[in-house]
A and B are shown apart, each in its own frame.
Chain A
Amino acid sequence: MIAEIGHYAVVLALMLSIVQGILPLVGAYRNDAALMGVAEPAARGQFLFVFIAFFALTYAYVVSDFSVALVAHTSHTLKPMLYKISGVWGNHEGSMLLWILILSLFGLMVAQFGRNLPGSLRARVLAIQGLIGIGFLAFLLFTSNPFLRLDPAPVEGQGLNPLLQDPGLAFHPPFLYLGYVGFSMAFSFAVAALIEGRVDPAWARWVRPWTLVAWTTLTIGIALGSWWAYYELGWGGWWFWDPVENASFLPWLVGTALLHSALVVERRDTLKSWTILLAIIAFGMSLLGTFLVRSGLLTSVHTFATDPERGVFILGLFIVVIGGALVLYAIRAPMLKGGGLFAPVSREGALVLNNLLLATATAVVFLGTLYPLALDAIGSGKVSVGAPFFNATFVPLMVPLLIACPIGAMMAWKRGDLPGVVGRLRVAVGLAGLVVLATVMIDGNTDIVAALAMGVAAWLVTGAAVDLAERTGLFRISFSETLRRAANLPRSAWGTAIAHSALGIMVAGITASSSWQTERIQIVRLGDTVELAGYEVTFRGASNVTGPNYTALRGTFDLTANGRKITTLHPEKRDYPAEKSGTTEAAIHTTPIADVYVVLGDSDGKGGWAARMYHNPLVPWIWAGAIFMAIGGMVSLSDRRLRVGAPKRVAHKTPAAEAA
């Protein structure tokens, strides 16, 4: 019964999304307030029905109702409760329902908090959201219905892929989808503005919070996925430039560019049509990512079932949504006249540079990701484009971006003073130089590229700190005055500084873990000790253990440093009988400056075990960087200026906002 309620709720949501997608558009065109007013109750209703459907599916998972085909195929009574719930989106149908739930949640948020938006803009934004909703609800109902019954119902389910039974991965899809779908808001605002033919600073102030939400959650989602790959796949790497990773990275890159260009629209009333284009492309990349991982074109842990019909449907949806938006853009964009002029050396100029570099980097990643697929499609051979390609193309493009970042952030609007800014950054220049020297001294092999990269990391962190010190007058004026200024500093300035220094932390983590990793692969016997970058790892045997829905071989390794015991590590090789599959669980000892990472391999049949051990310096800094980046986004989001209710159409400038 509950599954039928869910199914029926999806149908009702589709009906409401058709109403929401059409009537408000007509109303806005005719300037008919009654028709425009339909948008909000429709958006609320749509959320309600999608929520009921999602709840019904979750209920079926929680009580293990195997008469629902999806539950029978992807769940099991013995699975821990967390994975029963995360199993709702650990499959194709359920994850699409989650996608739609988030889409309708964003619609609800516009309906609830969008009171101050002009009526026609609000109606059009909600209508575009409704149109996207039609596409995805139809996709769910016609190709991926999660509520199909199975008769007779099996006694036991087939279980969830053990690789997905993991806390990191349980929350990876919801965050990733919040990001993907969040860009639909920027998209809807962009299309609505194109229909209205008007883009002004107030518009940018409404778009930025949605973009910030999307960008922040996407950052968290990607970081969770990468963290999972790091500890679950068992080879000590955290990013593989794999097509499915790139599929989530592309919208992130475009979203980052959009965040920065929307700033220019907001402050200087220029770069309008470029910003609109970025908003369309950001959502386009989100759809493309969905298409790539859901169509079965790429074989991966994300490909739950290959059904050509679904791939064709999503591709069609992609072409209609993005093609339609781009046609509208081609017609309307020339109407959008830029306002403020600026010199090349200025904050605007720096942000343009940021956008050019990010856009080029996106193009490079896009090419590397799609080239093998295109080559295969035209039948000219199978190739794989891996990490060496991206390291040789993406990294060189990031270097100027990272170097320019602190300078650009301190540049004045309109006309900047480059020597002046560099002069004020002399402390950061000095510190970065010191870090380069120190790295060369510590690292005997003098890996000069890595040393320079560590310098760039220090440059980013101290550059952001200098920026904050300058704004608060630290050491120039009395300390209490500094505190007062710090309290009055716009939150977005704090957010910027936090996110930019987070980038530096991340660069340090990436550089150190890829340049100075120590790896040991060898056979260990009882009592064998392996020296690993100043630690000693001693094998103390392997035994069988039983988990809730798996059996495992668990190794015991003592970790000591100079003979002093630090901890005991327990890597496991798990076997999941229900799913007839296994996983490798690495044991990781994390310290602020490095990870010790131990994986248990096969027995050699003679009392020895293959073991793989890594010492990964600064690898925790990568996740710390991602967390700080997300915090920067949230701090920025809390800026008064960006509250959807706060801004008025007439931009009123305060001295604080000018200074920022």
Chain B
Amino acid sequence: MTRKRRRLTVVFLGGLMLSTAAALVLTAFEDSIVFFHTPTDIATKQDLQKDRRLRVGGIVKEESWRKKDDGLTHDFLVTDLTHEIRVAYKGIIPDLFREGQGVVVEGRLLPDGTFRADEVLAKHDENYMPKEVAEALKKSGKWKGSAVTGTPDGDKPYGDKPYGGKSYGGQKESAQ
């Protein structure tokens, strides 16, 4: 086998693999990317693909958290202080889930406008707020800096401790 033919074989194989990978990536992007939205986005944007999995972030509204009798189904409002959305979740709530603090939920929007979350991602520190939530609040014009719950790029040099999980602490829904 000549050098030229060997090179051709390798180039052909490489091209084949790259195009396979490109096809895989494109189909996977189509199906599995999850977009982040604020409650205001969901209330006002018409062009949202509402049948997709979504992430919604904001603050858990004060005195909105209810637990159903089974002890596992939770119900709360997520607000960006302009609009709010009702979230239903069945499972164990993360350790530091609190009313009045930031949260990101992932799941689907139901036709009646409630959000059925199968993941609740809460921060693990009282001074930290998910970056997306801070920006959502800034967008809604209700950002009060550290007066609300502290800023992600806050004043304490070492203070912005992570929230648990790797990127996010979170709890997955039960399989049932």
Q: Which residues from chain A sit less than 8 Å from chain B, CB to CB? A: 73-74, 91, 158, 161, 163, 229, 233, 235, 237, 240, 242-245, 296, 298-306, 338, 341-344, 352-353, 356-357, 360, 363-364, 367-368, 371, 381-386, 388-389, 392-393, 396-397, 519-523, 573, 579-584, 599, 601-602, 604, 606, 608, 610, 612
Contacts and interface: CB of A to CB of B under 8 A. Distances in A.
A363 B22 CA distance: 10
B36 A301 contact: no
A163 B36 contact: no
B167 A299 contact: yes
A610 B163 CA distance: 22
Given A341-B3, A381-B36, 18 more contacts: A161-B162, A235-B171, A242-B165, A299-B162, A302-B162, A305-B157, A341-B6, A352-B13, A364-B21, A382-B35, A383-B36, A385-B34, A396-B20, A582-B96, A582-B124, A583-B95, A583-B164, A584-B95
A648 to B, nearest CB: 29
Interface stretch (B24-32, B75-83, B109-117, B141-149): B24-32
**Would you list the 5 A-B pairs with minimal beta carbon distance, nearest first?**
A604-B71, A382-B36, A388-B32, A521-B174, A242-B166
Given A356-B13, A392-B24, A299 B158 contact: no
B55 interface: yes
Given A73-B157, A242-B167, A342-B6, A300 B162 contact: yes
Interface string B28-59: 11011111100000000000000000010000
B166 A306 contact: no
Contacts of A360: 17-18, 20-21
A300 B36 contact: no
15 contacts: A73-B158, A163-B162, A299-B167, A301-B165, A341-B3, A341-B6, A352-B10, A364-B21, A371-B29, A384-B34, A393-B21, A521-B174, A573-B95, A583-B164, A584-B95
B126 to A, nearest CB: 6
Interface in B101-146: 106, 124-126, 130-132
Contacts of B9: 344
B28 A300 contact: no
A344 B13 CA distance: 10
A385 B53 CA distance: 12
Contacts of A389: 28-29, 32-33
A243 B167 contact: yes
Contacts of A364: 21, 24-25
B6 A300 contact: no
Nearest to B32: A388
Contacts of A229: 166
B10 to A, nearest CB: 6
Nearest to B2: A341
A299 B102 CA distance: 14
Contacts of A606: 71
A268 B9 CA distance: 18
Contacts of B25: 364, 367-368, 393
A608 B71 contact: yes
Nearest to A603: B71
A343 B27 contact: no
Given A301-B166, A306-B152, A397 B92 contact: no
B66 interface: no
A486 B74 CA distance: 62
Nearest to A395: B24
A233 B152 contact: no
Contacts of A158: 158
Contact of A363 (B21, B130, B152): B21
B153 interface: yes
Given A302-B162, A397-B21, A392 B130 contact: no
Contacts of A296: 153
A304 B158 contact: yes
Nearest to A271: B10
B85 interface: no
A234 to B, nearest CB: 8
A287 to B, nearest CB: 20
A237 B106 CA distance: 17
A365 to B, nearest CB: 10
Contacts of A342: 1, 6
A653 B69 CA distance: 76
Contacts of B125: 580-581
Contacts of B35: 381-383
A608 B71 CA distance: 8
A301 to B, nearest CB: 4
Given A300-B167, A384-B36, A582 B95 contact: yes
B158 A91 contact: yes
Nearest to B172: A235
B36 A581 contact: no
A256 to B, nearest CB: 16
B164 A519 contact: no
